[in-house]
Structure 1
């Protein structure tokens, strides 16, 4: 069994804060320190112009409703993995190692509400599979796959 950061998903459930994104799947779990972007302006800026990002860090893009989502890497200087989640917080698609400064559209899916960007190569290194579940206070609906039980 692979557990990143040596924590169980039960331990993760006790730390549901806005600056942390928890992921779990059969055989693994990981926690990322995360910035949340939930306005049009913040989402448009994303991780542009940043020269680095800490290893277990990321940016969580939160949309008001499920929708078709596509990203590009214009003005983004570091390779990224993009994890696309539905409204319940289930991972629907992974785009690995998006190329810095590339203007090619990266399509995430039709009904995406959350996107987590992490350092390129981390999804494969951690063996994060499609179907993994995300936990974050932004996922407030009654159908959340992994709801926050305690807010801190």
Structure 2
């Protein structure tokens, strides 16, 4: 399946959608992708993440949110499925994509400095959709006065 075809599978409707806790949307000039997510916004939830899960729906993910922009690192200890990690700054702009982190690998994966949020999705999906640095995320975890793609803006 081509990147455009995969992107079309995840494209949301053209109707402006207000931010929802359980939805993260990403966009660039190439298109829009929508994920049904769980939010990990406290220390315990971030520590647990997607560990010990055997499956993750194709259009699902987990959004890790930090109280302030910082240097963050992940590992795959006790994580049973390959994941893509999308690291974003306080504006919701993608700064780094780590493709296909391997299950159970304890090697650190760093996202860089100034990271506020990290979206984990199925391994290989970011590449199929074409998600790269510069994409913007729409979610209410992003301070709307700083958001590259505010909730109030139509698609």
TM-score (normalised: structure 2): 0.90
In 1, distance between residues paired with 2:128 and 2:135?
Answer: 15
* 1:43 counterpart SS class: helix
In 1, distance between residues paired with 2:60 and 2:104?
Answer: 20
Q: Which residue is 2:93 aligned to?
A: 90
In 1, distance between residues paired with 2:37 and 2:18?
Answer: 13
In 1, distance between residues paired with 2:27 and 2:144?
Answer: 18
Are 1:51 and 2:54 an aligned pair? Answer: yes
| Shift in alpha-carbon separation, 1:103–1:27, aligned structure 2, 3 A | same
**Residues 111-126 of structure 1 mapped to structure 2, 5 A cutoff:** 111-126=114-129
Question: Runs of 4+ in structure 1 displaced over 4 angstroms?
Answer: none
Offset of residue 141 of structure 1: 4.1
Q: Which residue is 2:28 aligned to?
A: 25
Offset of residue 28 of structure 1: 1.3
* 2:152 counterpart SS class: coil
In 2, distance between residues paired with 1:6 and 1:25?
Answer: 12
Q: Which residue is 2:12 aligned to?
A: 7
| Per-residue CA distance 1:116-135 (angstroms, 9 max, x = gap) | 00000000110112100000
TM-score (normalised: structure 1): 0.92
* 1:92 counterpart SS class: strand
In 1, distance between residues paired with 2:133 and 2:152?
Answer: 23
Give ranges in structure 2 of 5+ residues lacking alignment.
Answer: none
* 1:104 counterpart SS class: coil
| Per-residue CA distance 1:85-116 (angstroms, 9 max, x = gap) | 00000000000000100000001011100000
| Per-residue CA distance 1:52-94 (angstroms, 9 max, x = gap) | 0000100000001000000000000000000000000000000
**Residues 64-143 of structure 1 mapped to structure 2, 5 A cutoff:** 64-143=67-146
State the Cα RMSD in Å. Answer: 1.6
In 2, distance between residues paired with 1:6 and 1:117?
Answer: 18
